[in-house]
Amino acid sequence: MVALSDRAALRRLLDRFGFGPGPGDVDAGVARGFAATAAALLNPAQDPTPEPDLGPEPAKVAKGDTAGRKALAQQLRHQELILTGWWLDRMVATTAPLTERLTWFWHGHFATSEQKVRSPRLMQRQNDTFRSLGVGQFATLAKAVMVDPAMLIWLDGERNKTGVANENLARESMELFMLGVDRYTETDVRAAARALTGWVVDRDTITARLVPRRHDDGSKTVLGTTGNLDADSFVDVVLGQPDSPKYVVGRIWSRLVRGTAPPAPDVLARLVAAYGPNRDVHATLQAITREPAFTDSAQTLVKQPVEWAVGLMRALRVRPAQLPPTAAAALLVGLRGMGQVPFLPPNVGGWPADSAWLTTSAGLARLRVAQLITAHADLSTVSGTSTANRCAAAQALLSVDQWSGRTTAALNQVADTPARLVAVAACAPEYVVSL
């Protein structure tokens, strides 16, 4: 095991428990010390950013009404752009990066797509749930998500009623959200579906409620527990399975520490102990920062496209909310080219990981996004220094530990044009990967 330098360890802490360092953050963190920086990250102040104004829920449109459907689609697109722009801006500018990073994590874990939900207001409510409950007790979060309006629509929970089961939510919540594959039987799925019956969404009030006559209140047996199980008690049963804590903790590790290998058994055991019977996400995160394994050089992670783009905007102090409309739209097109747009995961299994992001077309899209962002950035720390020093200036600007010889040679080819230099630097392996 090779430990990172103090500086690199600090940089990694800011990468994984937020969206990466802004100017001066690494220096400040090194001065303060790793433990103190971690403690501050783990106890963020409240971010006072207000909710976005998405307007009212668009009116329903009759099936044959083509003009109406077209107008509806336009209204939804407009709301989607506002919501996505709002979230990207929040991720860049937040004073509580840990909270936002975990909101992003849960977004990928309880992956729900606007493409089917077709209501940015409902997606916003779900986003809020991830934010307010995402660093607390997992049981509380899971129970809220099981009856979240967007989730109920996404996994057909609304259509699951007594006598006519729809198993989608039951299966995916066990397999993907709480327990893992092959740890339950088909019989468990069918019983779980019965426990989850009866929920109905009201899009106008952005709420879900349990309708008694739609709910199966008979006795069910799920994973060995029998009773009149409902959504809450179902979650308790699943989270009480011995494999569940390892699974949940493992997922957090895979997205914050390393995706290409699970934690060593002793590390996992300590993290699970920290997660504990309270299923405490905050304690788990704290335990991660205290593990020597966390600062082992092997724990590298390819930044997801949104993580990379947000990190770049943080480093360059570019606010998505302040981009002109064409640039803001181009940013989303670029993210789509890289394979990731917030609120549009490909399926309930969530996002790809690591090398799967590194397709050839994604690489080209990345350069375009980098160019877009650098075009709106203040690059005076780079342009204000001599050509010979610009490579080093870019390294400092992006808080990169150290450029390799390969990257230095590449960057020096465009050192005379700061915007190009920084754009290429943002595409360098040392920046694309969180080392």
Partner 1 sequence: MLSVTRRRFLVFSGVAGAAALAGGATQVPWSQLFDAASTSPLPPGQGVLVVVTLYGGNDGLNTVIPASDPAYQKARPDLAYQPHEVLDLGDGLGLNPGMTGLKSLWDNKELAIVRGVGYPVPDHSHFRSMAIWQTASPTTSVPTGWLGRWLDATGDDPLRAVSVEPVMPPLLAGARATAASLPVGGLKMPTGRLNDAFAALGKAQQGEPELTARVATSMVDLQNAARVLGGAVHDSGDTTPNTGKRGALAQQLGVVAELVEAGVPTRAYSVSIGGFDTHADERDTQQSLLTELDGALAPFVNRMKATQRGQQVVVLVYSEFGRRVAANGSDGTDHGTAGPVFVLGSHVNGGFYGTQPSLTDLDNGDLKESTDFRSVYATMLDGVLGTDAGRVLDNFPTRIDNLLTT
What separation in angstroms does the CA of 272 have from each of 279, 288, 289?
Answer: 9, 10, 14
Nearer to partner 1, 289 or 299 (CB): 299
Q: Which of residues 278-307 bind partner 1 (CB under 8 A)?
A: 297-298, 300-302
Q: Which of residues 130-169 bind partner 1 (CB under 8 A)?
A: 156, 159-161, 163-168
Nearer to partner 1, 40 or 414 (CB): 414
Smallest gap from residue 155 Cβ to partner 1 (A):
8
Part in contact with partner 1 (CB under 8 A); list of ranges 34-42, 77-85, 138-146, 203-211? 77-85
Burial class (CB in 10 A: 0-12, 13-18, 19+), 68: middle
Smallest gap from residue 294 Cβ to partner 1 (A):
16
Residue tagged 């709002």 (tokens): 86
Is 380 one of the binding residues for partner 1 (CB under 8 A)? no
Residue 136 · residue 94 · CB < 8 Å: no
As a whole number of angstroms, the distance between CA 338 and CA 284 comes to 31
Q: How many residues bind partner 1 (CB under 8 A)?
A: 79
In this structure, the dihedral spanned by the alpha carbons of residues 34, 36, 38 and 43, taken in order and rounded to 10 degrees, is -170
Nearest to residue 328, comparing CAs of 343, 318, 317? 318
Is 66 one of the binding residues for partner 1 (CB under 8 A)? no
How crowded is the C-beta side of 209, counted as CA atoms within 13 Å?
8
Q: Which of residues 387-416 bind partner 1 (CB under 8 A)?
A: 404-407, 409-411, 413-414
As a whole number of angstroms, the distance between CA 422 and CA 369 comes to 12
Q: Which of residues 97-116 bind partner 1 (CB under 8 A)?
A: 113, 115-116
Chosen residue from 14, 135, 178, 189 binding partner 1 by CB under 8 A = 189
Nearer to partner 1, 276 or 429 (CB): 429
Residues in the chain: 435
Smallest gap from residue 107 Cβ to partner 1 (A):
14
The one-letter code for the residue type at 46 is Q
Is 25 one of the binding residues for partner 1 (CB under 8 A)? no
Is 221 one of the binding residues for partner 1 (CB under 8 A)? no
Is 354 one of the binding residues for partner 1 (CB under 8 A)? yes
Is 359 one of the binding residues for partner 1 (CB under 8 A)? yes
Smallest gap from residue 289 Cβ to partner 1 (A):
21
Residue tagged 């493992």 (tokens): 250
As a whole number of angstroms, the distance between CA 377 and CA 395 comes to 16
Residue 18 · residue 42 · CB < 8 Å: no
Q: Which of residues 235-254 bind partner 1 (CB under 8 A)?
A: 254
CB atoms within 10 A of CB 326: 9
Nearer to partner 1, 130 or 247 (CB): 247
Part in contact with partner 1 (CB under 8 A); list of ranges 178-186, 218-226, 282-290, 308-316? 178-186
As a whole number of angstroms, the distance between CA 361 and CA 259 comes to 22
